[in-house]
Structures are given as structure tokens and as C-alpha cells.
Amino acid sequence: MNQSFLDYYNLQPLFMAIHSALCSIMPEGLAIFLEGLVVAVLILIMYAVLAIILIYMERKVCAKFQCRIGPNRVGGKGGLLQVPADVLKILTKEIIELKNSDHFLYALAPFLVIMASILTFSCLPWNKGGEILHMNIGIFFVLAASSIGVLGILLAGWSSNSKYTIIGAVRSGAMIISYELSIGLTVLTMVMMSGTMDIQQIVASQADGWNIFKGHIVAIAAFIIFLIAGNAEANRGPFDLAEAEQELTAGYHTEYSGMHFGFFYLAEYLNLFITSGIATTLFLGGWMPFHIAGLDGFNAVMDYIPGVIWFVGKTFFIVFLLMWIRWTFPRLRIDQVLTLEWKYLMPASLLILLLMTVCKVFGLVF
């Protein structure tokens, strides 16, 4: 298969060139340190920009669903500067210290949440050679790192010393721990299909067709389960019990103000993006263009489009799907959430794992 353009967009050589250029004028340690610094700043900027885009998108998408217009006054016709205004506001807002709370944990919790989010964020395969954290157990690392977030939520709820927050936190804890099983099992299914845990290689293995097509029925079922569980993991409707506005006012972050609250808010949207990004990687081929085996001309045309556009495009498509779900369904109740997981999704994902094994053994996947 002609993959010249894929290689053309490969970022690896560029990074290598920068690295060697830096090494030639300074010691390697310093060069790596400087590079790390630049990358860290880049991640944070990307993180913030994406959050702004996602929040704006959510406000516009939900307005469309609700026969409204949505923000259209601040900064131009489309209300493009509405979210930056919010960010500016929240940055200048007072951060309240509670009197009867565990001060250290109270201050720590938002950082745990945002850290988990950033760690998983850096594992996303943006392009060929465009991955920030690359390791051969990448997908495993994503699962591990995303679990830190729930710790932050639990701590936030507990240290605030309020009954609403503790109920929200415990709900969230119970839910996320449960749904991690389904996520783990579906991820395992896809890992088995690709035969590797390395995120770049999972993507590379989909060069001749995305997993969702190659794994046909089994992969589609796994995709649906992953979306449901991922939605729950990101604490979004209809699984937003942890901050169920109508029940617990603001759930686990009721007592947080200013930028501390902003961190929770940002992390919520980025987790949505990360869930979608991982789903894209596992099922929709990550940055891999759309290929149809046999149609070389068509494939070559698709290859002209850079991988990063493919990745972002597919991810935002899934983000849109999740928003659609959120703005359509009412909220579940905590026992129904747990019933759904333990009685239906978990057995189903075990079955899918088994089916995938059978398919793989008998060569029924393409």
C-alpha cells in the first residue's frame, strides 16, 4: 500500500532534527530539559484551548437541540469570545478557604483531577510520530492514569465537610470504579484484536481498515459499550449523578470556588475529549485516514489529508455523539447506574472478549 504521504506528515524526523540541533549547542541533559519544558507548556496551552473550544461547542450544540441560538453577543456574531470571557472571570474570582475542612486535601483535590486528565491527555496519538508520551504499554498507562481522577473527586467531596459533597463523591466513586471494569474489558478486547498495547502500533495496525470495520459485529458492540462506560467515566449525562444539579446543587464541587472549581470544570470537558480520543484510537483508527482495501487511488487521496485532521475530526464526531446523548436523556438513578453496569454491561463485555478471542483464533476478523 502506498503510504508515502503518511510518512510525509510524520512528525518524528522533525523532532529528531530539533533534538540533534539542540544537542549540538548544549549538553544533552539541558536539551532534554528544555524540550520537556516546551512540551509541557504546549500541552497546557493545547489543553486550555481545547477546553475553550469544547465548552463553546457544548453551548452551541445544546442550544441547537433546544431550539435556541446560544451565545451570540460577546465577541462577534457567533459569540466566539464568550468562553474566554468566562475564563477571565473565573481567573479573577476569589478562592474561598473553608474554616472546618481539611485544608491540605481540599486544596489538593482539584490538582489531582486536573493532573489525571493531563496525563491521559498526553497519551493521545495526534499524528504519526505526534504522541507526547510514548511507551509500549501506552493504553495500560491511560487506564491507570485516568483512575487518579476519581481519587481527586473523592477527596474533594470528603474534605469539603459538607453532606452534599460527600454524597456526590461517593456516588462518583462507586460509579467510576464500576465502569472501569467495562472500559478495561473492552480495551482488552481491542488490544487483543490489534495484538499490542502500544498506542501508535494499535493505530498502525488499522492501516488496512479501522478496527470497527475489521472486527465487524463484535467491535461495534465493544464500541457501544465503550461509549456508554466512557460517558459514565467522564461523569457526563445521563451519568452525571456526582454533580446532579437538581439533587445535590453542584455535587462534589459544591464548596469550590474560583479557579479550583474551574479545574473541575475544565477536567470534565477534557475527559470528554480524552474518552472520545481513546475511542477514536481503538475503534476508528486514530490518525489513520479512511482506507478501503483494494482501492489504491482512493486511499492515496485520503492520505493527502494530514493525520492530525483525521484524529481531531473523528474525535469531535464522537464528542458530538456524546453531547447528543447528554442533551437527550434524563438522568439515571444511582442503583440503576450500578445495575446497568454489573448486570448488563460487565457480562456483555466479558462475552465480547470471549467472542473476540474466538474470532481471532479462527481468523474471523479481517
Q: Is 343 in the site for another protein (CB under 8 A)?
A: no
From the CB of 152, what's the least distance to another protein, in Å?
17
3-state secondary structure the chain: CCCHHHHHCCCHHHHHHHHHHHHHHCCHHHHHHHHHHHHHHHHHHHHHHHHHHHHHHHHHHHHHHCCCCCCCCCCCCCCCCHHHHHHHHHHCCCCCCCCCCCHHHHHHHHHHHHHHHHHHHCCCCCCCCCCCCCCCCHHHHHHHHHCHHHHHHHHHHHHCCCHHHHHHHHHHHHHHHHHHHHHHHHHHHHHHHHCCCCHHHHHHCCCCCCHHHHCHHHHHHHHHHHHHHHHHHCCCCCCHHHHCHHHHCCHHHCCCCHHHHHHHHHHHHHHHHHHHHHHHHHHCCCCCCCCCCCCHHHHHHHHHCCHHHHHHHHHHHHHHHHHHHHCCCCCCCHHHHHHHHHHHHHHHHHHHHHHHHHHHHCCCCC
Task: Kindly identify the residues of this chain, within the stretch 301-320, that bind another protein according to CB under 8 A.
Answer: none
Rounded to a whole number of angstroms, the minimum distance from the CB of residue 341 to another protein is 15
For position 167 contacting another protein by CB under 8 A, the verdict is: yes
| Main-chain phi, psi angles of 321, to 5 degrees | -60, -45
Selected range binding another protein among 23-31, 199-207, 277-285, 326-334, rule: CB under 8 A = 326-334
Out of 3, 10, 257, 357, the only residue in the binding site for another protein (CB under 8 A) is 257
Residue 328 found at the interface with another protein (CB under 8 A): yes
Asked if residue 327 binds another protein (CB under 8 A), the reply is: yes
Q: Establish if 20 lies at the interface with another protein (CB under 8 A).
A: no
Q: Shortest gap between Cβ of 118 and another protein (angstroms)? A: 22
Nearer to another protein, 42 or 85 (CB): 85
Q: Cell triple for residue 136?
A: 509500549
Q: 129, 12 in Cβ contact below 8 A?
A: yes
Number of residues near another protein (by CB under 8 A): 60
Within residues 345-364, the interface with another protein by CB under 8 A covers none
Site string for another protein, 260-299 (x = CB under 8 A): -x--------------------------------------
- For residue 267, the minimal CB distance to another protein (Å) is 15
Using the minimum distance from each CB to another protein, give the nearer residue, 5 or 56: 56
* Ramachandran class of 235: left when φ > 0, alpha when ψ lies in -120 to 50, beta otherwise: left
Show contacts with another protein in window 128-157 (CB under 8 A). none
* Terminal-to-terminal C-alpha distance of the chain: 16
Closer residue to another protein, CB minimum distance, 71 or 307: 71
Nearer to another protein, 10 or 257 (CB): 257
| Rounded least distance, CB 249 to another protein, Å | 4
Question: Considering only CA atoms, which of 239, 148, 226 is closest in space to residue 183?
Answer: 226
Q: Which is nearer to another protein, 27 or 76 (CB)?
A: 76
56 vs 310, which CB is nearer to another protein?
56
What's the longest Cα–Cα distance across the chain? 68
- Per CB under 8 A, contacts with another protein among 67-126 are 67-74, 79, 81-82, 84-90, 92-96
CB of 66 to another protein, least distance (A): 4
| CB nearer another protein, residue 207 or residue 334 | 334
Beta carbon nearer to another protein, 237 or 277: 237
Cα distance between residue 199 and residue 202, in whole Å: 5
Letters for 225-254 (x = contact with another protein by CB under 8 A, - = none) are: ------------xx-xx--xxxxxxx--xx
Contact range with another protein by CB under 8 A, out of 26-34, 57-65, 125-133, 151-159: 57-65
Residues 177 and 131: their CA atoms lie apart, in Å, by 28
Q: What are the residues binding another protein (CB under 8 A)? A: 59, 62-63, 65-74, 79, 81-82, 84-90, 92-96, 163-164, 167, 171, 237-238, 240-241, 244-250, 253-258, 261, 327-336
